[in-house]
Structure 1
Amino acid sequence: MTDAAKNLSIVLEGVHQVKFEDRPIPELRDSHDVLVNVKFTGICGSDVHYWEHGSIGQFVVKDPMVLGHESSGVISEVGSAVTGLKVGDRVAMEPGIPCRRCEPCKDGKYNLCEKMAFAATPPYDGTLAKYYVLPEDFCYKLPENIDLQEAAVMEPLSVAVHIVKQANVSPGQSVVVFGAGPVGLLCGNVARAFGASKIIAVDIQKGRLEFAKTYTATAVFEPGKAPAMDNARRIIEENNLGSGADVVIDASGAEPSVHTGIHVLRPGGTYVQGGMGRSEMTFPIMAACTKELNIKGSFRYGSGDYKLAVGLVASGKVNVKELITGVVKFENAEQAFREVRAGEGIKTLIAGIDA
């Protein structure tokens, strides 16, 4: 690396093969585009999965790909039609660009766009670079009380916002969240901001449960090596949930969590699957039917989610700063991948390169 690098990028070439590559500064493709000098990027489990395996399901890294999609930065250049941003503005970066023309886009569900160009999802490059181009309306100007490190956590927070909106969480409800990683923790925080009175965090890692207790959970539960119905009964009894929880969010993707979550719900309750697990698994369909559960999926984030995420942090209703447990220099990026793979900390950020 040299100080003269124009657009230094962290490129995945193959399994455990990452290199620094100086690429051309990207040009504005549209008059509504802006050029962002990336300042901080969080490491997501998907980044680590690509680093370790070279693929996620149908998405296979066939050509060198820049990693990263949880980013914040400062505007360096604006297109001729840009009116809401100017050079020097600090922004949170929404990293998925829909086509705006397909039926899901027209229906207001652009996260389901058939031609979504999502950062660090093959074949699209990610944000772990000095510069990145986005449309103006996918950059969210930060209020003064949100710093650029916090802004890099807006991406997982927006995932959590979308999940909790899918669950229709309302004041006074009880919510059980399976998985106390970043998204699960943020789901609990958002649910509390939406008025939930009980937030029960479930995980098999004691350290994460301890953090959840100090962060936002009203109670925690470590599943025993027992049938799902037994663990569900214990959660209900230990937390006085009566006939069951109002809402269950699975942010783990683990099959035992899915089973326990279905059984812990009250009749008529709502289940939202946010965690990505195996493509197929067994499912307690009898319980889902006889309790007439509302079962929903949740994928990334959609219209208004990023804006709401910024507002929740600005108002103090959601705290993302506590989740940031480490910041590494750009040149030490692989350290961040190793830390995330080892389950160290909650959210690790990679610092960007100044313009």
Structure 2
Amino acid sequence: MNRTMSAAVLHGAGDLRVEQRAVPRASAGQALLAVGHVGLCGSDVHYYRDGRNGNNELRAPAVLGHEIGGRVVEVGPEVPDELVGGTVVVEPAVPCRHCSLCTAGRYNLCGNGHCLGSPPSDGGLAEYLAVDAAQLHRAPEGLPAAAVPSLEPLAVAVHALRRTGFAPGQSVLVTGAGPVGLLVAQVALAWGARRVTISDVDESRLEVARAVGVERAFRPDELDGLRVERTLECSGAVSALDTGVAATVPGGRLGLVGTVPDEAVRARLAPVQRYEIDLVGAFRYAGGFPEAIRLVEDGAVDLVALGTANYPLERAAEALGRASGGTGVKTTVECTTER
């Protein structure tokens, strides 16, 4: 193997450079991946556009990308050789595995870990990546390589529905038909929801929703009178939070999945108190990958339909620019063709 590789390195807002770096080596407990595809997420867009995502600021050059699929090409000591050659998806949030939250199974809330692709931790927009083997999950056989990274947001969707206490037979509203919203809606249907409604201001995304089996796809102004037992807000828009609160029945539950801006404090929350609507947060995932993989293996969720554009690594800046403009649903970057 050539011991140098290309990597897309973010130096500042709007300043992404494809550079040559040394290929990392798999140390004890790690595997080396030939990165196939990386899906671009809203957090990647924020880092690229603003040099920060929420409270986390880019302070030194870093490689973005946490939705990562690839093939294991080498393993380090203490890792079984049979992992080599397998196609995997990466669980990018690496917990400490020792704190009280980790041992209680809520490792997504660990304050001592890090997340690949969240500066200063490098992510997957490179030809090769060394990853803790414990963070790898085998992808379903036959799943196209460009769709493998979408198992990560599918795990987000699984965790979000679990956080709302969803049960079969309930009605669900999903606000925001981006990748996560589309996956939440599909999982709700797969788990036996009585009725699933999804809303968005973008008609092209509503068309994708209908294509993946979510027949009740509407603009927000078409939801008057809708009442549901579970609402999942996946857009991060304050207006969508207002829509979700208004649609949730007394005693229902609303899950915050999208990153809500600080000005959300101006949202209409009085009904939350008056009608005892449970308001819960959902952050990343805790144990969501096995169920996400099962849903794809069973044909219950369509990941392929989400992919609307794919770029080679040398055009990663163009890919991020496209994703920043909100065009399409899921933009991916192909990092290496090694199979």
TM-score range with shorter-chain normalisation? over 0.9
Offset of 1:168 from its aligned partner? Answer: 2.2
The residue number in structure 2 matching 1:138 is: 135
1:55 paired with 2:52, answer: yes
Letter in 2 for 1:49: H
Offset of 1:327 from its aligned partner? Answer: 1.4
Q: Supply the distance in 2 between the matched residues of 1:329 and 1:210 (Cα, whole angstroms).
A: 27
Identify unmatched segments of 5+ residues in structure 1. 225-230, 237-243
Counting matched residue pairs gives: 337
Offset of 1:84 from its aligned partner? Answer: 7.7
The residue number in structure 2 matching 1:241 is: none
Structure 2 matches for 1:1-355, cutoff 5 A?
A: 6-29=4-27, 31-83=28-80, 85-224=82-221, 234-236=224-226, 244-281=227-264, 282-303=266-287, 305-355=288-338
Q: Supply the distance in 1 between the matched residues of 2:337 and 2:253 (Cα, whole angstroms).
A: 46
Q: Supply the distance in 1 between the matched residues of 2:327 and 2:267 (Cα, whole angstroms).
A: 31
Offset of 1:11 from its aligned partner? Answer: 0.2
Deviations 1:226-251 (A, max 9, x none): xxxxx76x141xxxxxxx20100000
Relative to the length of structure 2, the TM-score reads 0.95
Identify unmatched segments of 5+ residues in structure 2. none
Tell whether the 8 Å contact from 2:309 to 2:330 is kept in structure 1 after alignment.
yes
Look up the SS of the partner of 2:254 in the other structure: strand
Q: Supply the distance in 1 between the matched residues of 2:91 and 2:82 (Cα, whole angstroms).
A: 15
Distance 1:143 1:186, change over 3 A: closer
Tell whether the 8 Å contact from 2:244 to 2:254 is kept in structure 1 after alignment.
yes
Offset of 1:41 from its aligned partner? Answer: 0.6
Distance 1:321 1:256, change over 3 A: same
Offset of 1:253 from its aligned partner? Answer: 0.9
Offset of 1:4 from its aligned partner? Answer: 5.7
Tell whether the 8 Å contact from 1:85 to 1:141 is kept in structure 2 after alignment.
no
Distance 1:223 1:217, change over 3 A: same
Letter in 2 for 1:7: M
Q: Supply the distance in 2 between the matched residues of 1:190 and 1:84 (Cα, whole angstroms).
A: 34
Letter in 2 for 1:259: D
Letter in 2 for 1:172: G
Letter in 2 for 1:208: R
Tell whether the 8 Å contact from 1:97 to 1:118 is kept in structure 2 after alignment.
yes
Q: Supply the distance in 2 between the matched residues of 1:128 and 1:97 (Cα, whole angstroms).
A: 18
Tell whether the 8 Å contact from 2:239 to 2:267 is kept in structure 1 after alignment.
no
Tell whether the 8 Å contact from 1:185 to 1:216 is kept in structure 2 after alignment.
no
Q: Supply the distance in 1 between the matched residues of 2:69 and 2:241 (Cα, whole angstroms).
A: 33
Tell whether the 8 Å contact from 2:107 to 2:286 is kept in structure 1 after alignment.
yes
Look up the SS of the partner of 2:262 in the other structure: coil
Offset of 1:21 from its aligned partner? Answer: 1.4
Look up the SS of the partner of 2:22 in the other structure: coil
Offset of 1:309 from its aligned partner? Answer: 0.8
Q: Supply the distance in 2 between the matched residues of 1:21 and 1:115 (Cα, whole angstroms).
A: 30
Letter in 2 for 1:269: G
Tell whether the 8 Å contact from 1:85 to 1:136 is kept in structure 2 after alignment.
no
Percent identity (aligned) = 34
Look up the SS of the partner of 1:153 in the other structure: helix
